Each structure stands twice: as C-alpha cells, then as structure tokens.
Amino acid sequence: MSIEATIDRYCEAWSNPEPAARAAALAEVWAEGGRYTDPRADARGAEALLDHIAGVLAQRPGARVVRTSVVQQHHGFVRFAWQVIETDGTRLPEGLDIATVGDDGLITQIIGFFGTLPSEVPATG
Amino acid sequence: MSIEATIDRYCEAWSNPEPAARAAALAEVWAEGGRYTDPRADARGAEALLDHIAGVLAQRPGARVVRTSVVQQHHGFVRFAWQVIETDGTRLPEGLDIATVGDDGLITQIIGFFGTLPSEVPATG
C-alpha cells in the first residue's frame, strides 16, 4: 500500500459512520500498540483509538476527516494535513499529523496538532 | 528552563559561528543519544548533530536559524516553525520541527521538515 493510501485508510477510520468499518480500516494500517496523541487524547492500541474516535464522532455525527495535503516522508516519519468536514459541508480548521511508519508500512505513532501554528518572532538573547 | 527557552537554545546551537558555543548551547538542551532527522540528515547524539550543523554552516557561513512561531506542546511533543536567515538578511523558506521532550526537559528527538506542506485534495474512494 502506498503511504498516501495508508494515510487515507487511516482517515477512513476517523470517518466511516459504521464502527465495524472504522475498525476494519484501522486494522489495515495500525501497528499493534500504536500510540495516538493530540492535545486532547493519548490512546495506545487500536481499541483505545477506536473508542476515542467513537467519542469524537458522537459529538459530531456524520463528520468526516479528509487529508488536505500531500504526504511527505523521510526516515519513516510522515507529515500530512487534514480537515474535519461536517455533514452540512462546514470545514473545521486544518490540523497536522506527524506519523511514524514502520518498515512493514504500519503506523506506530501519530502526533496530532490542531489548527495553524501562530507566528511569533521570539525575543533575541 | 521554559520550553520556549529550550527551543531557542536549540536554535542557537544551529546559529552560533563558534563551534564551542554551539556545543555548549546544545549540551543544555539535548538528551544523551537524542536523534535528529530531516529529509537530508539522520544524526544520533550531540556529536553527530554538531558535525551535521558544522557541515550545513560551512555551506552557508554566518547563517542563523531563528524560531518564527509560538511553541505548542502536548504529551511531551512540541511543534515550532523556524527559518534560516543568511548574512545578507535573506530568509529561506520556513521549516517545521517536531520535538520530543523528556520529563527532564531535554530533547530526545527532532523530526524536521522543510518548507510548507503543499495542499492536495486526494481522490475519493
């Protein structure tokens, strides 16, 4: 599976309204014990991640997560942008995920960030 | 040390023209055996990273790396943007670093990406 297909299957695991379909999509791409974190979550293993996704979808029924950037990778590290699209077509602010992918192509870690990264010129010194 | 100060010391280790000053800055913030990767480099440990930095600076004498965003963090994972400023003031395209920081505040890993992440709407299916 290409890295793009892997990431898109992962996004499907956040998007399909059927829990069994989400689990099937995640099973294709998620390594055993893989860790998912974002500012509000820290889930280890597919089951914990699927529980988290179910909770998020319960708050936004019918919402989908779609990839909105190319997939860049080096040394098994991947970055891509994504967006939540609600049922009425509303798009939430773009997020960024950094994935770690093993030699077998399975995702061992996702580090997620929400929204854009605000600019700042730090004080010198 | 605040996370902002940690990242700015790390940037100083990319910027000071004196090798000993770069090593001193890095020693304050880099964990033993910490790994640095970007699309062109994979360095483990402070010595390997300092060698890599020396090579980069040899190609761009006097260039500095400055943080250009706020520092966001969750669960020990950090993101920030940075930019190379050459001696004539030219700013190269912004990069993104994802750092992992231990409970002791030292950086155990940097995953770096160059430039902006191009948008793409993937094919559905």
Q: Which two tokens stand for residue B87?
A: 């001696």
pTM over 0.90: yes
> What distance in Å separates the CA atoms of residue B23 and residue B34, rounded to the nearest whole number?
14
Structural domains of chain B, with CATH: 3-113 (3.10.450.50)
The per-residue pLDDT for B121 is 78
Cβ-nearest to B72 among A75, A117, A122? A117
Place of tokens 């440990």: B45
CB contact under 8 A, A72 and B42: no
Residues of B in contact with A4 (CB under 8 A): 122
Residue B45, pLDDT above cutoff 90: yes
What band does B124 get if pLDDT is binned at 50, 70 and 90?
low
> What distance in Å separates the CA atoms of residue A19 and residue A53, rounded to the nearest whole number?
9
Interface A:B, Cβ pairs < 8 A: 71
CB contact under 8 A, A68 and B119: yes
> What distance in Å separates the CA atoms of residue A95 and residue B81, rounded to the nearest whole number?
15
pLDDT per position as a tens digit, B86-106: 999 999 999 999 999 999 999
Q: In this structure, what DSSP letter does residue A69 have? A: B
Instruction: Point out which residues pair with A35 in neighbouring strands.
Output: A44, A109
| Percent of chain A's residues with pLDDT above 70 | 97
Q: Identify the burial level of B17 via C-beta atoms within 10 angstroms of its C-beta, where 0-12 means exposed, 13-18 middle and 19 or more buried.
A: exposed
Q: How far is A24 from chain B (nearest CA, A)?
A: 15
Q: Which two tokens stand for residue A31?
A: 């390594």
Cβ-nearest to A68 among B8, B111, B121? B121
ipTM above 0.85, yes or no: yes
pLDDT per position as a tens digit, B63-78: 999 999 999 999 999 9
Residue closest to A92 by CA, chosen among A60, A55, A69: A60
Q: How far is B70 from chain A (nearest CA, A)?
A: 5
The per-residue pLDDT for A121 is 77
Residue closest to B8 by CA, chosen among B56, B64, B60, B62: B64
What single letter denotes the amino acid at residue B96? L
What band does A110 get if pLDDT is binned at 50, 70 and 90?
very high
Say if CB B120 and CB A82 are below 8 A apart: no
